[in-house]
A and B are shown apart, each in its own frame.
Chain A
Amino acid sequence: LAKTTQPISMDSYEGQEVNITCSHNNIATNDYITWYQQFPSQGPRFIIQGYKTKVTNEVASLFIPADRKSSTLSLPRVSLSDTAVYYCLVGDAVNYGGSQGNLIFGKGTKLSVKP
């Protein structure tokens, strides 16, 4: 699976838009990009997944350029409750949760939202 690189930490104020960029230079053709969120004392939680261009759901948007060597998770108007660690994972989505679906986590980005 492709290695990912993310900022170690980021700070933001409430109401701001936060963009977290992840580098994955060795992403393979069949790889998808998936983001998980982890609050303190909880397990990781799936946020969003994409292959190319832009994906949006009720929680976040994911921007993926044409070369797919990076991706940006965008959180609109963050609140204090968005303080968490955000993980970028890259791999073959078909196998992610299936018979070979062991997720490989990096160190993640610790987002701190301040009032």
Chain B
Amino acid sequence: EAGVTQFPSHSVIEKGQTVTLRCDPISGHDNLYWYRRVMGKEIKFLLHFVKESKQDESGMPNNRFLAERTGGTYSTLKVQPAELEDSGVYFCASSHQWRATSYNEQFFGPGTRLTVL
């Protein structure tokens, strides 16, 4: 079974440009999460989809970030316009639909390294 995949693996853009990151979760996983780690900081939660609906977007830093998950399959995270402080590694994770009696392990992708110059 394929794991969580992310594209691209690395993106270098200039300040003010737009970048779109893509995440393909494990097939059948309803939960999809975005996290990011900026230089020298901890991995921070951005948002959580359940199927195509945004369950929790409390971690989104500002309105320059837009996440979508049309059809409840893959997800995109767009940064527009990108700023220098957006540089970091963006991780996507997925898990099974919530089960109240068991631990729903999150499976992470390899991340997309974003560099804003």
Q: Say whether A and B bind each other.
A: yes
Q: Does A77 contact B (CB under 8 A)?
A: no
Q: How far is the CA of A91 from the CA of B35 in the complex (A)?
A: 17
CB of B74 closer than 8 Å to a CB of A? no
Is B95's beta carbon under 8 Å from chain A?
yes
CA A96 to CA B48, docked complex, whole Å: 12
In the complex with contacts A46-B105, A102-B59, A106-B42, A97-B110 CB distance below 8 A: no
A30 touches B (CB below 8 Å): no
Chain B interface category by residue count: 20 to 34
Q: Which residue in A45, A94, A97, A100 is a CB contact (below 8 Å) of B96?
A: A97
- Please state if A101 and B110 are interface contacts (CB–CB under 8 Å): no
In chain A, positions 17-57 with a C-beta closer than 8 Å to chain B are 32, 34, 41-46, 49
Q: Cβ of B108 and Cβ of A97 under 8 Å apart?
A: no
Do residues B42 and A102 form an inter-chain contact, with CB atoms below 8 A?
no
Any B CB within 8 A of the CB of A105: yes
Provide the residues of chain B in CB contact with A93, threshold 8 Å: 103
User: Which of A94, A101, A108 has a CB less than 8 Å from the CB of B48?
Assistant: A101
How far is it, in angstroms, between the C-alpha of A98 and the C-alpha of B59 when the chains are bound? 16
A101–chain B nearest beta-carbon distance, Å: 6
Residue A104 at the B interface, CB < 8 A?
Answer: yes
Measuring CB to CB, which residues of chain B are less than 8 angstroms from any residue of chain A?
A: 4, 31, 33, 35, 42-45, 48, 50, 55-56, 58-59, 91-93, 95-96, 98-101, 103-111
Can you sample 17 A-B contacts with CB below 8 Å?
A42-B110, A43-B93, A43-B110, A43-B111, A44-B91, A45-B108, A46-B105, A46-B106, A97-B105, A98-B98, A99-B50, A101-B98, A102-B33, A103-B35, A103-B45, A105-B44, A108-B42
